[in-house]
Structure 1
Amino acid sequence: MSEPAQAATACTDGPLLEALMAEVAVGDQDAYRRIYRALLGPVFGLVLRVLRDPAQSEEVAQEVMLEVWQCAARYRPERGAVVPWVMTMAHRRAVDRVRQAQRTSAREERAAAHAHTTAFDEVAEAVEDRLEHERLRRCLTALTGLQRQSLTLAYYRGLTYQEVADLVHAPLSTVKTRMRDGLVRLRDCLGVHP
């Protein structure tokens, strides 16, 4: 009898499968090969009907057949035939894979929602920065010309007191005083309390 014919017979012959399972339970690799050939097709078919993805179905079918090897000693013929026992394992594995995919999808959706919230926070932060700049600009216009010019040169262009004094053609002590007075007026205008 050819191997495919033996596999087809083994798939329908309950007593033969039970005998093979008993041999697999004690580590007989040849018996496992025969069971593997007989059951891989039906296991793959069942898993494919649940998952609808051939690549994942192949992977799950391999996991089921490995589980048959590892759990053969737990098989009890009095509780049922080999094929339903293996098919139950296959169905459970396939359903577990579907649930795992659903959990992964839910996790990704939560992460995307969180990322969307973060983007909103960034927009809110940008708006807040813009409002602060507007308040600062308004307060700067309330300063005297020398105060505004000195503070702008020092804080926005990074110049030293001496460089500011040289550019505005004023004594160093005058520039320092005007900058100090300008900072006090800015603090009061912005509502910043020391």
Structure 2
Amino acid sequence: MRAEELVQRCARGDDAAFAQLYDDTSARVFGLIVRVLRDPAQSEEVLQETYLDIWRHSARYDAKQASAMSWMMTIAHRRAVDRVRHAETASAREGRYAVEQREVAFDTTSEAVDSSLEAERVRRAMATLTPVQREALELAYFGGHTHTEVAALLDLPLGTAKTRIRDGLIRLRDTMGGER
């Protein structure tokens, strides 16, 4: 049975379909999560969270928008990136506390402000992308995937994946070029 059918059955509360969906897809989803987190223990936790999201939100899946595998990989990737961001935030909090305990040089503060402002510019620019461009760019540049891997993850022809990445980069360049 295809993943699309299984997700639709999950939306109707079919436990057996969910078990089959997990058996059929979890290895591939886990592989993506491990590539982002690089920590098997955390990856297992994120895998559980991902499938819980898939179960809870299966009614939102729209086969006209994306393949079921692409939809699930997007959920997994976002969950993994959220985990990385959470870890970075916790680390940053600890780092801020350590910095507060000693004298801060002006250059360090200036660099942190510049970095924070640049990160905000990138976030604003990413928000201007279409969802398909953003997804392809996130996989390629934040997920570290090759164009071929992005195409496979999104269940697209290689040329389409490359076009989405290129168009997204052009749009980012145009958006960020005007914000200096």
Normalised by the size of structure 2, how large is the TM-score? Answer: 0.55
Letter matched to residue 20 of structure 2: R
Structure 2 equivalent of residue 66 of structure 1:
52
Partner of 1:95: 81
The 5 Å alignment of 1:1-194 reads: 16-116=2-102
Distance (whole Å) between structure 2 residues aligned to residue 17 and residue 99 of structure 1: 29
Q: Which runs of 5+ in 2 are unaligned?
A: 104-180
Bigger RCO (CA 8 Å, 6+ sep): 2
Pairwise CA distance, 1:17: 1.4
List structure 1 segments (4+ residues) > 4 angstroms apart after TM superposition. none
How far off is 1:85 after superposition? 0.4
Q: Distance in 2 between matches of 1:22 and 1:50?
A: 28
* Structure number with larger C-alpha Rg: 1
* RMSD across aligned positions (CA): 1.2
1:37 to partner: Cα distance: 0.9
Report the number of matched residues: 103
> Equivalents in 1 of 2:29, 2:85: separation in Å?
19
SS at match of 2:99: helix
Q: Which runs of 5+ in 1 are unaligned?
A: 1-9, 11-15, 118-194
**Residue aligned with 2:13, SS:** coil
- 1:19 to partner: Cα distance: 1.4
**Cα deviation 1:69-102 (Å, max 9, x = unaligned):** 0000000111111000000111111111111111
Match in the other structure for 1:164: none
3-state SS in 2 of match to 1:79: coil
Aligned partners of 2:102, 2:66: CA distance in 1, in Å? 53
Deviations 1:4-35 (A, max 9, x none): xxxxxx5xxxxx21111111001000000000
Give the share of equivalent positions with the same residue, in percent. Answer: 49
- How far the C-alpha of 1:40 sits from its partner, in A, is 1.1
